[in-house]
């Protein structure tokens, strides 16, 4: 049995707690957050215990920081002043790694602490303990700054794929595929809002395309402010580069260069189709994607039809990580079950199945 302290019981801290418990119910999970959050996490059974203050933690084997990055930087300093268990493992979950690693190296250099930077590459625009999900990291990449068998074993119930990356490379990559898209989503929403003053129907006519591009504009501003402030150089570089991209397509449109415009879209399509995100949320399982209408009782109807087949997971992809809308994603244990389920749904409904 290990004692694991999770600091920050929000979406990520809560989901990690649930993932650890899935394979290691014997470990004791202790949470630290605001009192009401701690109480809620305990009531929901996400943590076993809580502590009122960050002190008396010399019995803790593993500390997981899952708070916004600016708070993480501050807490690393606090932890370095406390009496800690010899060889305690400390890790974080922050969306940027360079600043966190610099701070950890600075404050723990003369201590018996094993600090490993971490970043699970899955999440949501939702935040807080109530958004916790044991399946959040299923098949997602989980970046660590170095291998650590003990930590990886403790986190094995998250069903994530560990990958080792140095902090600078991590920050450049996530600057491109995570941080910059959040800026873009928020900008797009704000640009549309400005435009709607002149053209009031803008908000009514925004449909699936706009929704898919902007879901993450609803993400938590505290978390994202800390992300941007801890990774300014790579992000500014991506913004600059994107302006050039926009200039290039503007030029093609101005010139009415039909061939170049078509090639622009063909290239984007081909690249996206080749990316891992295109392969579905849980690629190693047997998934059936059913496009369902937004009607009361539709999910229960599908489940009733499949009641004799063993289902391992159900997901409603309203905000879609894939490119099909109103999608019910049902996972099965075997290919045989998947084939049977598909036949039943196709026979009994007119829902599109993929
Ligand atoms: N949201 C995502 O998609 C995502 C994905 C991967 C990693 N991350 C990273 O994980 C971390 C947590 O993000 P989240 O989405 O869980 O945020 P969240 O807002 O859901 O949770 C953060 C929690 O930290 C708590 N907290 C704030 N200050 C604290 C303090 N001083 N002491 C103790 N607790 C404190 C908050 O009360 C909150 O419960 C961030 O560093 C973020 O960059 C987020
Ligand atoms: O799915 C989402 O909503 C996310 O924004 C998750 C997401 C991302 O993909 O950018 C956000 C921040 C992280 O640090 C890792 C993952």
The answer as to CATH 1.10.3660.10 being correct for domain 168-276 is yes
Task: Give the tens place of pLDDT for each residue, 176-185.
Answer: 999 999 999 9
The Cα–Cα gap between 238 and 74 comes to 28
Ligand 2 centre to CA of 227 (Å) is: 11
Ligand nearest to the CA of residue 17, numbered in listed order: 1
Q: For 74-129, write each residue's pLDDT tens digit.
A: 999 999 999 999 999 999 999 999 999 999 999 999 999 999 999 999 999 999 99
Distance from C-alpha of 349 to C-alpha of 206, rounded to nearest angstrom: 30
Counting from 1 in the atom list of ligand 1, the atom nearest the Cα of 128 is 20
Tell me, in angstroms, the distance from the centre of ligand 1 to residue 82's CA. Answer: 22
Q: Where in the chain is the domain with CATH 3.30.70?
A: 280-353
Which is the closest atom of ligand 1 to the Cα of 75?
31
* CATH architecture assignment, domain 3-165: 3-Layer(aba) Sandwich (3.40)
What is the rounded CA–CA span in Å between residue 62 and residue 27? 11
Per-residue pLDDT tens digits for 217-259:
999 999 999 999 999 999 999 999 999 999 999 999 999 999 9
Q: Where in the chain is the domain with CATH 3.40.50.720?
A: 3-165
Is the Cβ atom of 6 under 6 angstroms away from ligand 1?
no
Give CATH 1.10.3660.10 domain extents, the chain: 168-276
Distances (CA, A) of 23 to 115, 118, 130, 154, 298: 23, 20, 21, 8, 33
Distance 325 CA to ligand 2 centre (A): 20
- pLDDT confidence of residue 325: 52
The verdict on domain 280-353 having CATH code 3.30.70 is yes
pTM (predicted TM-score): 0.85
Residue 8 CB–ligand 1 contact under 6 Å? yes
How many angstroms is it from 188 CA to the middle of ligand 1? Answer: 25
Residue range 139-168, pLDDT digits in tens: 899 999 999 999 999 999 999 999 999 999
Ligand 2 atom nearest 216 alpha carbon: 3
pLDDT interval class at 321 (50, 70, 90): very low
């Amino acid at each position: 049995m290990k004692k694991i302290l999770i600091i920050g019981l929000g979406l990520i801290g809560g989901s990690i707690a649930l993932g650890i418990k899935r394979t290691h119910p014997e470990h004791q999970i202790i949470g630290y957050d605001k009192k009401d959050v701690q109480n809620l996490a305990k009531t929901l059974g996400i943590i076993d215990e809580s502590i009122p203050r960050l002190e008396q933690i010399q019995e803790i084997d593993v500390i997981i920081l899952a708070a916004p990055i600016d708070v993480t930087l501050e807490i690393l300093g606090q932890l370095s002043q406390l009496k800690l268990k010899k060889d305690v493992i400390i890790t974080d979950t922050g969306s940027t790694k360079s600043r966190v690693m610099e701070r950890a190296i600075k404050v723990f250099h003369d201590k018996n602490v094993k600090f490993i930077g971490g970043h699970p590459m899955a999440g949501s625009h939702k935040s807080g303990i109530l958004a916790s999900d044991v399946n959040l990291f299923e098949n997602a990449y989980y970046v660590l700054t170095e291998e650590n068998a003990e930590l990886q074993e403790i986190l094995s119930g998250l069903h994530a794929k560990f990958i080792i990356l140095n902090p600078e490379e991590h920050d450049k990559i996530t600057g491109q595929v995570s941080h910059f898209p959040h800026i873009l989503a928020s900008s797009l929403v704000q640009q549309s809002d400005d435009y709607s003053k002149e053209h009031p129907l803008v908000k009514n006519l925004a449909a699936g395309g706009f929704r898919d591009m902007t879901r993450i504009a609803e993400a938590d501003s505290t978390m994202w402010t800390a992300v941007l402030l801890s990774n300014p150089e790579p992000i500014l570089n991506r913004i600059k580069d994107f302006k050039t991209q926009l200039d290039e397509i503007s030029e093609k449109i101005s010139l009415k260069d039909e061939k170049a415009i078509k090639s622009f879209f063909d290239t984007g399509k081909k690249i996206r189709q080749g990316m891992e995100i295109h392969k579905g949320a849980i690629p190693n399982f047997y998934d059936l994607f059913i496009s369902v209408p937004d009607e009361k009782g539709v999910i229960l109807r599908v489940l009733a039809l499949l009641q004799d087949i063993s289902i391992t997971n159900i997901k409603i992809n309203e905000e879609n990580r894939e490119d099909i809308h109103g999608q019910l994603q049902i996972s099965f244990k075997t290919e045989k079950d998947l084939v049977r389920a598909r036949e039943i749904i196709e026979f009994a409904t007119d829902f599109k199945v993929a």
